[in-house]
Amino acid sequence: MFAVSPWVEPKATACLVLADGLVLMGEGAGAQGTAVGELCFNTSVTGYQEILTDPSYAGQIVTFTFPHIGNVGANEDDVETVAVEASLAARGCVLRAPITAPQNWRSRETFGAWLAARGIVAITGVDTRAITARIRDGGMVNCALAHNPNGDFDIEALREMARTAPDMAGAELATTVSGREARGWTRGAWGWDAGTYGDASGTGPRIVALDYGIKGNILNLLSERGANVTVMPASSTLEEVMAARPEGIFLSNGPGDPGATGEVVGETLRGLLGKGIPTFGICLGHQLIGNAIGASTKKMKQGHHGANHPVLDIEKGRVSIVSMNHGFTVDAGTLPENAKETHRSLFDGTNCGLALTDRPAFSVQYHPEASPGPQDSYDLFDRFLDMVREHAAANA
């Protein structure tokens, strides 16, 4: 006779507590400790490293709707944060399935080890569909995510941390994730044959990229096209930007409430727009242009986070599938007479682009640089640099 041992349910080593009261137990991964932030969901099926290192996710915890995250491992080439501090992006992540061993030739370490090294707390084994439905129906909610190998959790303390966490509305985060010093950028686009990034020391138009939490691939694509790129801090003054003699201005993506950030950087942006320098904005940069010209921005219920969003180019009648990551939107109904709506989301009709009619400036809400996502909109970088060259020739 063989003795049969009774099955014992494994002890939970992670706990996710939402401000609305929901408590989920699971298995911990990544860094140990507690992360507090706004809980959102991302519908991408790949590119988890790029997502978690996108500074636009600062102050947030990401639920991945795709169940298998981590099975291609991790490497340093897919990191989008360009600031030195590794913590200037997502604070945590929520996963359905346990992290598996990597199966990819580019992997250098397991996803779990990579999360731990970057201080990102994770929970696995929870119902991410239920979380997504909850956010879809009730909106994004603050949460506390704890990972403790001993399985000891103070639920009430975690619930209080979630309830008292700062709201994203009114949060000025862009200047906290921005680089602190001006610097050049000479890395080009990824080359599959070489297996690395190219060297693209641009000698073309001088572009000042204002860093509100900029992603590395944006800078790569500008440099790859010959631009001479200088990245400058979000807090740069008009005088400091003009001292770099820019022929074009790029306004980057970033986290937080554009209304709050606009109070800090708005004077510089209005000054730059007033000088008629060709300007291109992405995501937060798009929202900041909107605020600078007098339009209003507003918080969205669930935001847009994923790589499968259909966007209509209103003038061309063309639909592109794009990457998005934002929780605020420009209210198209408040655009002034010298601005026109150029793009619109086919999911919910929200504004996804604008252009000024009296000066060379345009912007989009989505991420044409992808990383991760489709490359349908790479041509916007060409459009921007063509605008810069044409303006320079006309004013030579």
> Mind telling me the catalytic residues?
283, 367, 369
- CA angle centred on 172, ends 305 and 42, rounded to 5°: 10
CA distance 18 to 127: 14
CA distance 361 to 219: 19
Beta strands of the chain (E only): which ranges?
A: 14-18, 23-30, 33-42, 60-64, 92-94, 121-124, 141-147, 183-185, 187-191, 196-199, 206-211, 228-233, 248-251, 279-282, 297-313, 318-330, 339-345, 351-356, 361-364
Q: Are 372 and 45 in contact (CB under 8 A)?
A: no
For every residue of 286-323, DSSP letters joined together read HHHHHHHTT--EEEEEEEEEEEEEEEEETTTTEEEEEE
Report the sign of the C-alpha dihedral through residues 152, 156, 162, 165, in that order.
Answer: negative
Structure tokens that stand for 32 in this block: 């140990």
| Letter string b/e over residues 224-254, b meaning 16 or more CB atoms within 10 A of that residue's CB | bbebbbbbbbbebeeeebbeeebbbbbbbbb
Q: Are 307 and 373 in contact (CB under 8 A)?
A: yes
CA distance 75 to 111: 9
